Amino acid sequence: MSDLQREIQRRRTFAIISHPDAGKTTLTEKLLLYGGAIQLAGSVKGKAAARHAVSDWMELEKQRGISITSSVLQFEYDGYCINILDTPGHQDFSEDTYRTLMAADSAVMVIDAAKGIEPQTRKLFKVCAMRHIPIFTFINKLDREARSPYDLMEELEKEFGIGTYPMNWPIGCGVDFKGVYDREKNEVLAYTQFHAGSKAIHATELSLEDETELRDMLGERLYSTLRDDVELLDGAGYEFDRELVQSGDLSPVFFGSALMNFGVEQFLQSFLALTTPPMPRLSEGTPVDTEEPFSAFVFKIQANMNKAHRDRIAFMRICSGRFERNEEYFHVQGDKPIRLAQPQQMMAEERQIIDEAYAGDIIGVFDPGIYSIGDTICSKDRRVCYEGIPTFAPEHFAAFERKDTMKRKQFETGIRQIAQEGAIQIFHEPNTGLEEVIVGVVGVLQFDVLEYRLQNEYSTAVRRRGLPYENIRWIVSDTDPSSLQLTRDTKWVQDFKGNDLLLFGGEWNIAYTLKQNPGLELAEFSRN
């Protein structure tokens, strides 16, 4: 095996997804503990806490105790090079999560054992299913009162239409939580002491055949329940099939407590053994092998990660080959050669300049304003062009204008740069001369983030006015928008790339507009 093959084979790149408060960020930090990437877990709970989660780097995230933007975290563990994409859980920031999933080879879905599947979890799963991404489920918070594990498994299968295979099984929950049964090793992992901020968990491993010791440790009720559960699990349910796991049709399920650091390392070890190294990606319908010359695509752009330097970082997923610093590559959409300036690997906002990286890695490069989400960068000798990342239709709209008339340049720069990150979409009314900008977002909290960032990163205070539109469509036919017959609550706008779109007050208006304008064709999302 060549050095290139060896480096690619040891890469594991995955996203962690969940509904808010399911424990996703806590699980991420415990994984980092095992990799030695951090020495002490942070906390996003409690406003008085001096520490915050490593992956929550934006100041507003620390104030609100939620993840707003995806973070990239890389560390080494047991011979593997692991790239974690920690994503926002809140549905108002789901657009960022959708794009980030395009850069992942697999996904870890974190579910609250008391709440089960929640609306945001459903949306994220659909994105994974669309790409046939392998999904691993971590059912969290067993240290609290929880629903029946059978009910949780049934809900997973019913909601998502996939098989489930429990890799371990909980013994009690809440104050009665005694540990988990490891099905592969046929033994019970019982905790004796929790260490929430450390990886030094004290646990006892007992074979299922150690009947006397298990009875003493678990008590007669939990021991009898465990015996019945083991018999039922072995006699019913899906057989374990690695191919079904890798095609996204069977989800291995793990039970544990990220906060109490129980079951996390066992999950990490099993996950790394089951998930795949980087796989070929499609370029114009043709798979590009991971060992071909360097290629990558941009899946995220973030402005002002370092506020002092007013920088912009383009995050790239390397799809094939080996990246080398100072080599000349080719920017497909820009149709010109390019050198990737200051290539970096990330630990949230911490950065390290690198000389090389491999397929599966995530790197950040300085963006002088030339990259867009979905762009391909590749070797000059092997031209490829990866599929674009869809732009989803925003669901909420508001008009923004600056309060200070002297701040025009700051306002225009700020709103344009933030829009290029993909979290918001900006529009204007053609031929009106209005200086206000129409902003569309997937979730209304994005408006608050925009206001906060314009004020704090661009020193521009703004006024916001809500708009009554509910739907937006891209005009894809060769139609002159100025000649369209539109209702009073339908508006023609353009995005900053010059594409023509229509804003509608409701679904009825869409049907009416199509009826009144024969030949008009509309699309729900754009790949431009």
Q: How far from the centroid of its chain's Cα atoms is residue 298's Cα?
A: 14
Q: What is the 3-state secondary structure (H, E, C) of 64-77?
A: HCCCCCCEEEEEEE
Confidence of residue 304 (pLDDT cuts 50, 70, 90): low
> Which residues, other chains included, contact 208 with Cβ-Cβ below 8 Å and sequence gap of 6+?
181, 186, 187, 188, 214, 230
Does the pLDDT value for residue 134 go beyond 60?
Answer: yes
Query: pLDDT exceeding 90 applies to what percent of the chain?
Result: 46
Average pLDDT of the chain is 83
Q: Is 116 helix (H, G, I), strand (E, B) or coil?
A: strand
Residue 115 has which token pair? 């709440």
What pLDDT, on a 0 to 100 scale, did the predictor assign at position 43? 35
Q: For the domain 14-67+88-274, what is the CATH code?
A: 3.40.50.300
Q: Is 31 helix (H, G, I), strand (E, B) or coil?
A: helix
Query: pLDDT exceeding 70 applies to what percent of the chain?
Result: 84
pTM score, two decimals? Answer: 0.78
Confidence of residue 82 (pLDDT cuts 50, 70, 90): very high
Cα–Cα distances (Å) from 15 to 141, 321, 331, in that order, read 20, 22, 26
> Which residues, other chains included, contact 180 with Cβ-Cβ below 8 Å and sequence gap of 6+?
142, 168, 169, 170, 171, 188, 189, 255, 256, 262, 263, 266
Number of H helices, E strands in the chain: 13, 31
Confidence of residue 4 (pLDDT cuts 50, 70, 90): very high
Confidence of residue 66 (pLDDT cuts 50, 70, 90): very low
CA–CA gap between residue 470 and residue 460 (Å, rounded): 28
What pLDDT, on a 0 to 100 scale, did the predictor assign at position 16? 87
Confidence of residue 44 (pLDDT cuts 50, 70, 90): very low
Backbone angles phi, psi at 116, to 5 degrees: 70, -150
Domain edges within the chain:
14-67+88-274, 281-378, 396-523
Q: What is the DSSP letter of 176?
A: G
Confidence of residue 493 (pLDDT cuts 50, 70, 90): very high
CA–CA gap between residue 203 and residue 199 (Å, rounded): 12
What are the tens digits of pLDDT across the range 259-294? 888 889 899 999 999 999 999 998 988 999 999 999
> Among 28-42, 63-77, 155-169, whose mean pLDDT is lowest?
63-77
> Which residues, other chains included, contact 495 with Cβ-Cβ below 8 Å and sequence gap of 6+?
425, 426, 427, 501
Confidence of residue 193 (pLDDT cuts 50, 70, 90): low
CATH class of the 281-378 domain in this structure: mainly beta
Cβ atoms of 378 and 330 closer than 8 Å: yes
> Which helix or strand (DSSP H or E) is residue 414 part of?
helix 408-420
- Residue closest to 19 by CA, chosen among 92, 82, 101: 92
What pLDDT, on a 0 to 100 scale, did the predictor assign at position 298? 92
What pLDDT, on a 0 to 100 scale, did the predictor assign at position 65? 43
Q: For the domain 396-523, what is the CATH code?
A: 3.30.70.3280
Question: Is there a shared CATH topology between the 14-67+88-274 domain and the 281-378 domain?
Answer: no
Mean pLDDT within 192-198: 51
What pLDDT, on a 0 to 100 scale, did the predictor assign at position 473? 93
